[in-house]
């Protein structure tokens, strides 16, 4: 059984387009996250949600809009894609609270041409 799943795994698109990445977790966790990993492998938190409520927005451009329709899903919509958005995007989930292990999805490799 897949714990945290993301679709699509690969996304190739043109500058200026709008795209979405979907994430689902079946672990019953309260907290979900989006991370961006750049070409140098730097992993940076973008958003975190707890019980569908936005908790953290790490100065991400407002072209990025997360949506959590329920506790098990956290989707990421990106408007007006730019070259610099090319990266691997990871969704993760964890139980609430400090010290909780975060479970990462397989990642979505976004390439903007």
Q: Tokens representing 91?
A: 């969704």
Residues 2-41 that bind other proteins (CB under 8 A): 31, 33, 40-41
Residues 45-104 that bind other proteins (CB under 8 A): 45, 48, 50, 55-56, 58, 90, 94, 96-104
Min dist CB 106 to other proteins, Å, is 6
Give me the DSSP letters along 12-71: EE-TT--EEEEEEE-S--SEEEEEEE-TT--EEEEEEEETTEEEEE-S--TTEEEEEEET
- Contacts to other proteins by CB under 8 A: 31, 33, 40-45, 48, 50, 55-56, 58, 90, 94, 96-107
């Amino acid at each position: 059984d897949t714990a945290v799943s993301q679709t699509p795994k690969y996304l190739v698109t043109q500058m200026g387009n709008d795209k979405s990445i979907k994430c689902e977790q079946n672990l019953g966790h309260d907290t979900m996250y989006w991370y961006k990993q750049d070409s140098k492998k730097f992993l940076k938190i973008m958003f975190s949600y707890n019980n569908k409520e936005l908790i953290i927005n790490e100065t991400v451009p407002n072209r990025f809009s997360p949506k959590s329709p329920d506790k098990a899903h956290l989707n990421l919509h990106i408007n007006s894609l730019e070259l610099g958005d090319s990266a691997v995007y990871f969704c993760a989930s964890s139980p609430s609270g400090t010290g909780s292990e975060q479970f990462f999805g397989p990642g979505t490799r976004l390439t903007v041409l």
